[in-house]
Each structure stands twice: as C-alpha cells, then as structure tokens.
C-alpha cells in the first residue's frame, strides 16, 4: 500500500527588471549622490499611475507582472547611472553629465509593470493532492483437483520451500515469489480410495519426465489434475450367436467382438455355462483354442475380434444345443 502524498505547491514570481540598487538615491551607497542634493529619503524616480506623478520611497524595485496580473503603470521613468543593468527598452534618453538621467518605457505595455518592495507571488499549480493506492502481490498457483486424488508440489530445483500436498476434490491457491519454478506430481488417492486414479494434467504447465508437470510462476498460473474412478467394463457384440443347422460331422463358424469400455486396462477370460456346457466345451474353439484357454489384454477403449468354430461330432445327438459364453474382466496389472 503506497501512502497518499500531498502535492507540493511551487512558488513563481514576477521578474525584477530594475533593481533598487541601480537607481540614483537608491539604498546602494555606491550610487549616493552628493549631500547638497536633497532627496528626502525617497528614490529619485518618477512613475505615473493615471495622471498623478509620484516619487517612491527607498527600497522599491520595478517588476513585470508575468504571473501576478497586478501591473498598473501608465509610464515608467528611471534616474540611473547604469542603464545597461536595467531590463527595459529605452524609448527616450535625457543624458545629463551630472545626473545621468534616462527615461524608459516598459516595452509596449507599461501597465504590465508595478513598483513594489518585493514581487507579488502566486502558487502554481494550485494547492491540491492526489491519493495513490497500489497493492504489491505475488503471482499465485491455483491447483484444481477433479476427483479423488492428491497433488504434491515443490520448487525445482529443490529449495527451502517445503513440499506441499493437497487432496481433492477441490481448489487450492498458493502465492509464490515471481519466477519460482515448481514441479507437481499427481498421486492416486491411496489409501483414501483405491478405486480412483490419475488421468492427466491440463492448464498452464509444461510436461516433465515421469508424468510430472512443471510450472514457472512468471504470472498467475492455473493447473488441473484430473482423477477418474477405476471402472472395469467390457462390451460383447453380438450377444447372441446362432450357428444354424449343422449336420453331424459338420462345422459352423461365426465371430464376436470384445471391447474395453472401462477406465482401466482389462484382462479378459472366458468360460461356458448353460444346459449343454459339455457339448460346447468339447466342440467349440475360440481363436483356434479351447474356450477356457482363451484370454485377451485390452487397453482402455480397445477391442478384439474373436473367431468361433463349432465342430459337430459325427455321432452327436440331434437336437438344439444351448449354452452361454461368460466373459470375465479384471483390471490388468503392469
């Protein structure tokens, strides 16, 4: 927070164009005239304000009203020995060997001048203030955790900032100094709930080895760690296989597809059940082998086509034969 600072009033003044010390009979002793000339304590200068001439007391200077606007003269006349030290244009000269008289006019506008002991000052700019307000803040890291899981993070390379861990679901916000490098690691929610697993990162990060996420705090950053529930699920299509009429000693063929519709890799096996289990166990082949010997490992969203071959023995009893292939899926382990 920056405190309010009052504005500083700067003083400016009308410039002096003829100093008292440069006048005859002024206060400068070097300009004192012989004692037999009496000036009665007044400067020997003439000014007209309207129609009335007037002499001024010692100590008065001539100022130009550049800033005050207080000039009021109709004429300016000065008695001096040093006209070159007076900042006014000469309009008329009246040289006198003993008095050195010069008569001056203040540029085009005598009413821009005034006699005074000191200049009329004004404040510029006018007194005032402006309140300043600012908050210096650190950039923040926002970690969104979707699902059940834990995110650990710390500086990279390691520093004195301790590693922190946050568990979701939820949102965590933490400030860091500008330029801090962080490394985040997602951990499955064990032992809180072994049925959830990390699915991936999204947001303001750079992929790092080992599935980590690197984040540089050169501004506010947001990263999301998504955890998904472990679901083992498969789909078998079609759900009914009809080999049709097969003569004794003949063969029937068909196929089906087994797809992994869960969220984890699946290890799939098969067994037979039903009225005529013995018939199909002895005579049905899956991918050229027995039903109980068949198995498949299916990554998430992948499937496998399975060929079915039914070899009917020559002496098989006529009639309808029914059974069910049961596919069993478990989460496969690396």
Q: What are phi and psi for residue 53, nearest 5 degrees?
A: -75, 155
Arithmetic mean of pLDDT, 278-303: 95
| CATH number for region 234-331 | 2.60.40.1090
Q: Evaluate whether 110 touches 72 at the Cβ level (below 8 Å).
A: no
Give the Cα separation of 217 and 202 in Å (integer). 16
Q: Is the pLDDT of residue 148 over 80?
A: yes
pLDDT digits (tens, 9 = 90+) for 1-46: 434 444 444 557 888 888 876 665 443 333 333 333 322 233 444 4
Model pLDDT for residues 218-265, shown as the tens digit of each residue? 999 999 999 988 899 999 999 999 999 999 999 999 999 999 999 999
Measured between its terminal Cα atoms, the distance across the chain in Å is 56
For residue 20, give the nearest of 49, 54, 61, 55 by alpha carbon: 61
Q: Is the pLDDT of residue 270 over 60?
A: yes
The token pair at 78 is 């000065």
- Domain spans in the chain, listed from the N-terminal domain onward: 5-123, 140-229, 234-331
pLDDT at 130: 78
Q: What is the pLDDT of residues 102-133, one digit of tens each?
A: 555 555 566 788 878 888 876 555 556 778 88
Q: What is the DSSP letter of 318?
A: P
pLDDT exceeds 70 at position 57: no
Q: How many CB atoms lie within 10 A of CB 170?
A: 10
Residue 4: the pLDDT is 40
- Mean pLDDT value of segment 310-334: 93
pLDDT score at 121? 73
What does the longest C-alpha to C-alpha distance in the chain come to?
168
pLDDT of res. 327? 96
**Is 0.75 topped by the overall pTM?**
no
Q: Looking at the predicted structure, is the pLDDT value of residue 139 above 90? A: yes
pLDDT tens digit string along 170-228? 999 999 889 989 888 887 654 456 788 888 999 999 998 888 899 999 999 999 999 98
Report which of residues 48 and 265 the model is more confident about. 265
**Is residue 184 within 8 Å of 205, Cβ to Cβ?**
yes
pLDDT average, residue stretch 153-178: 82
């Amino acid at each position: 927070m920056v405190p309010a600072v009052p504005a500083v009033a700067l003083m400016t003044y009308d410039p002096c164009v003829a100093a008292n010390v440069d006048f005859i009979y002024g206060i400068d002793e070097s300009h004192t005239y012989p004692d037999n000339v009496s000036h009665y304590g007044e400067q020997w200068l003439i000014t007209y304000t309207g129609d009335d001439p007037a002499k001024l007391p010692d100590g008065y200077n001539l100022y130009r009203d550049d800033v005050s606007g207080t000039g009021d003269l109709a004429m300016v006349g000065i008695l001096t020995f040093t006209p070159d030290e007076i900042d006014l244009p000469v309009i008329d000269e009246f040289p006198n060997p003993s008095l050195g008289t010069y008569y001056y006019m203040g540029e085009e506008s005598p009413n821009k001048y005034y006699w005074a002991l000191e200049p009329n000052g004004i404040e510029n700019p006018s007194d005032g203030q402006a309140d300043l307000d600012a908050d210096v803040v650190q950039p923040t890291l926002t970690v969104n955790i979707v699902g059940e899981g834990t995110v650990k993070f710390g500086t990279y390379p390691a520093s004195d900032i301790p590693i922190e861990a946050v568990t979701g679901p939820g949102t965590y916000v933490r400030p860091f100094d500008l330029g801090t490098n962080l490394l985040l690691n997602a951990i499955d929610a064990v032992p809180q709930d072994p049925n959830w697993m990390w699915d991936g990162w999204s947001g303001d990060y750079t992929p790092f080895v080992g599935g980590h996420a690197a984040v540089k705090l050169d501004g506010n950053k947001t990263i999301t760690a998504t955890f998904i529930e472990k679901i083992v699920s498969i789909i078998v299509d079609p759900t009914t296989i009809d080999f049709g009429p097969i003569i004794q000693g003949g063969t029937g063929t068909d196929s089906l597809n087994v797809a992994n519709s869960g969220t984890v890799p699946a290890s799939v096996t098969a067994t037979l059940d039903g009225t005529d289990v013995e018939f199909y166990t002895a005579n049905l082949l899956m991918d050229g082998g027995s039903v109980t010997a068949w198995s498949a490992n299916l990554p998430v969203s992948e499937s496998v086509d399975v060929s079915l071959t039914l070899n009917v023995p020559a002496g098989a009893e006529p009639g309808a034969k029914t059974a069910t292939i049961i596919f069993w899926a478990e989460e496969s382990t690396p």
